[in-house]
């Protein structure tokens, strides 16, 4: 059985090599959440290139990588993102939505620390609220 975490990472193009280093670590070194001796749990792919498939008449003017992790240790992901040698850390945005979660959690560097910004105290029951769109 799998345990999937959806991941998106936004970063400055000047940090392309740092993202590559992170991606190699995800593929080869990310520990499994319940079995840390097992590693290599996922991968990201750049989704803002010329073949991006985004809607609209223009190409995105940002750099975003996305992918999935299977049984990845999310505390290890956060520790790795903290430890990487970012040239532009304040432009790093890490979005993670774990299995059975209904929305992404946003992590950003501010004042030299990686902090969770949205939602700060997630309650999954909030996702059960659906506005009455059938008007």
pLDDT digits (tens, 9 = 90+) for 118-131: 777 656 665 555 55
pLDDT digits (tens, 9 = 90+) for 38-96: 887 899 999 987 776 788 888 888 999 999 999 999 999 999 999 999 999 999 999 99
Residue entry with tokens 């593929």: 27
Residue from 88, 97, 85, 74 nearest 21 by CA:
85
Q: Which domains are assigned to the chain?
A: 4-128 (3.30.70)
* This model's pTM is above 0.95: no
Confidence of residue 135 (pLDDT cuts 50, 70, 90): very low
């Amino acid at each position: 059985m799998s345990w999937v975490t959806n991941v998106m990472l936004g970063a400055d193009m000047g940090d392309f090599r740092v993202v590559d280093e992170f991606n190699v670590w995800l593929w080869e070194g990310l520990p499994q959440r319940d079995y840390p001796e097992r590693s290599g749990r996922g991968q990201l792919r750049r989704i803002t290139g010329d073949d991006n498939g985004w809607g609209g008449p223009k190409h995105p003017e940002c750099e975003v990588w996305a992918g999935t992790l299977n049984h990845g240790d999310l505390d290890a992901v956060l520790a790795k993102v903290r430890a990487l040698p970012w040239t532009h850390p304040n432009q790093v945005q890490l979005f993670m939505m774990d299995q059975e979660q209904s929305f992404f959690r946003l992590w950003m560097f501010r004042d030299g620390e990686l902090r969770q910004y949205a939602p700060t105290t997630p309650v999954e029951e909030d996702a059960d609220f659906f506005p009455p769109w059938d008007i």
